[in-house]
Amino acid sequence: MVEIPRRRAMSGARAQVQVVGALFMREMLTRFGTSRIGYVWLLAEPLILGSMISLMHALSGSDLPNGLPTFLFYALGYTPFLMFRSIVARGSNAVNGNISLLFHNRITLLDTMIARNLMEMMVCFTVCLLFILLGMLIFGELPHQPALLVAGWFMSALLAHGLAMVIGSAMVVMEWVEHLVHPFTYLMMPISAPFYMIDMLPQGTQEMLLWNPLVSIHELNRWAMFGDRVIPHYDLVYVLAWIIGLNVLGMAGLRMARPRLSLSD
């Protein structure tokens, strides 16, 4: 059994940026290959999924209040949730999927996690920007608060990143946790408000759902996009507390998980 070495002290941030950059390119090549079709599919997959979901709701014939465009409402609700689900599902496997790389003392578990999750985040951001561009060209819809909208996407990514680290470190100790990840992310969809506004629900249901920090993020995103045509319900302090808590817990978990890994696993 060959023990995995730890990274030696070096020029901290610069070294980590170099390592994460190299791992990011490796993730891109591993997942999509060297052909241009692979990189086209990188954007096409979430773009098609978001478009199909929004089209299904548009064809249902149910209008949204205050003239909200159905396509943008559902596409910009589903795509950030798709990012959250992808980061949690794929990011949590970064630990077991990159054990061989940890033989290099410049690479840490955190590096592999950041590289994989950064790729998922950039894909989502690009697709969301494409949806907004379509909204501007077709519907004449401009984001109400563009900076706040991007901040909401970042918060969703950071929340998912922290959760992925927690789950990834737990999988090192309890392998059965891996089988719960996909059901968990699918069960999160109906209680995270990607397809509906909290203001449409009874007071008791609103209070219950707002315990989920993703609900606040989706509510913030909708207000940042559509402005006063929606009545938002969110608590940014609560969301930031979840983000900080999960990321601190996740980094501590990765630190504890590393000594348990070996190249024979």
Per-residue pLDDT of the chain (265 residues; tens, 9 = 90+): 444 445 454 556 677 777 777 777 777 776 666 566 666 766 676 677 777 877 777 677 667 788 888 888 888 888 899 899 989 988 777 776 666 666 666 777 888 888 888 888 888 888 889 889 988 898 888 999 999 999 999 999 999 999 999 998 888 888 788 888 888 988 999 999 998 899 989 999 999 999 999 999 999 999 999 998 999 999 999 999 999 999 999 999 888 877 766 544 4
pLDDT the model gives residue 151: 95
pLDDT the model gives residue 69: 84
260 vs 217: CA distance, rounded Å: 35
pLDDT the model gives residue 105: 66
19 vs 16: CA distance, rounded Å: 5
> Are 125 and 85 a contacting pair, CB within 8 Å?
no
Name the helix (H) or strand (E) containing 8. Answer: none
> Are 185 and 120 a contacting pair, CB within 8 Å?
no
The whole model's pTM is what?
A: 0.85
pLDDT the model gives residue 103: 66
> Are 91 and 115 a contacting pair, CB within 8 Å?
no
In one-letter notation, the amino acid at residue 132 is I
DSSP annotation of 141 reads: -
What burial letters (b/e) apply to 84-113, b meaning 16+ CB within 10 Å?
A: bbbbbbbbbbbbeebbebbeeeebbbbbbb
> Are 107 and 23 a contacting pair, CB within 8 Å?
yes
Long-range contacts of 188-193 (CB under 8 A, 24+ apart): 188/81, 188/84, 188/85, 188/212, 188/214, 189/81, 189/85, 191/215, 192/81, 192/84, 192/218, 193/77, 193/218, 193/219
Question: Which residue carries 């348990």 as its tokens?
Answer: 260
pLDDT the model gives residue 17: 79
Half-sphere exposure (CA, 13 Å, Cβ side) for 21?
Answer: 6
pLDDT the model gives residue 263: 46
Name the helix (H) or strand (E) containing 226. Answer: helix 213-226
